[in-house]
Amino acid sequence: MAQEKQPFANPAAFGLTGLGVACMALGPVVAGWVKPEPPGIITAIAWAIMLGGVAQLISGIMEFANGSILGGTAFSGYGVLWLGLGMMWWMGTLGGAKLNTEVEGWVQLGYLLFSIYMTIGFAAVNTALFLVLFDIDLIFLTLALPNLGIGGPGLHTLSGLFIVVLALLSFWTAAGISCNAVYGRTIFPLGPPLVKKKA
């Protein structure tokens, strides 16, 4: 039986590049390297919505069309997250709405659970994607705990560092997916799957 042709090329590099740029905009603000004042937050919001939200959501839809439940769920789930974050920051910064950090903490805890089973899934793809997801786990953990009253504000600084690391991991993985495909050989190593799938 002839293999059915996928309607799209692999969209993961596009989604991961969007994630990387969004994290480069947000990470320094969360880490405290950029003052969390309206100009910096508004600038980060724009990239969060377009690259973190829209780019990943588009990638997720393309992954679903290609028949990838794992890639589609991951990119769509995180894309919607970034759109929600952008909307929340927008209302808080420009709309003057008072945000409830405890509710935010519970949402982050929910996304931590989502990220854990995505991490388990991507362990069967390659090492680089596993590291991307593992870093996301650490981000949600260090964001959720202080918002739920556990741990000090230093955890937020640590989460900012993890966000910047996520940007670098995302760029590397996107480069590997795109450049390795173009050259037909390994230019950016992505590493083997950590878990073998059943034949």
User: Going residue by residue through the chain (199 aa), what tens digit of pLDDT does each one get?
Assistant: 344 677 888 999 999 999 999 999 999 988 888 877 777 778 888 888 999 999 999 999 999 999 999 999 999 999 999 999 888 877 877 667 777 889 999 999 999 999 999 999 999 999 999 999 999 999 999 999 999 999 887 898 899 999 999 999 999 999 999 999 999 999 999 999 999 877 6
pLDDT at 115: 98
Q: Which domain holds residue 96?
A: 12-179
Identify the pLDDT of residue 95.
67
pLDDT for position 55: 96
Q: How far apart are CA 127 and CA 54, in angstroms?
A: 26
116's CB contacts (< 8 A; 6+ apart) are 137
In a domain, 7, yes or no: no
Number of domains in the chain: 1
Q: Does 42 map to a domain?
A: yes
Q: Full-prediction pTM beyond 0.75?
A: yes
Longest dimension (CA), the chain: 60
Which CA distances in Å does 90 have to 43, 44, 86?
11, 10, 6
Alpha carbon 29 to its chain centroid, in Å, reads 16
Q: Could you tell me if 159 and 143 are in contact, meaning their C-beta atoms sit under 8 angstroms apart?
A: yes
Whether residue 158 is contained in a domain is answered as yes
In a domain, 143, yes or no: yes
- Residue 190 inside a domain? The answer is no
Q: Which residues 6+ apart lie within 8 Å of 3 measured at CB?
A: none
Tell me, what's the pLDDT at 44? 84
pLDDT for the residue 4:
61
Q: Is residue 118 part of a domain?
A: yes
pLDDT digits (tens, 9 = 90+) for 120-164: 999 999 999 999 999 999 999 999 999 999 988 789 889 999 999
Domain assignment of residue 66, yes or no: yes
The whole-number pLDDT of residue 2 equals 42
In a domain, 193, yes or no: no
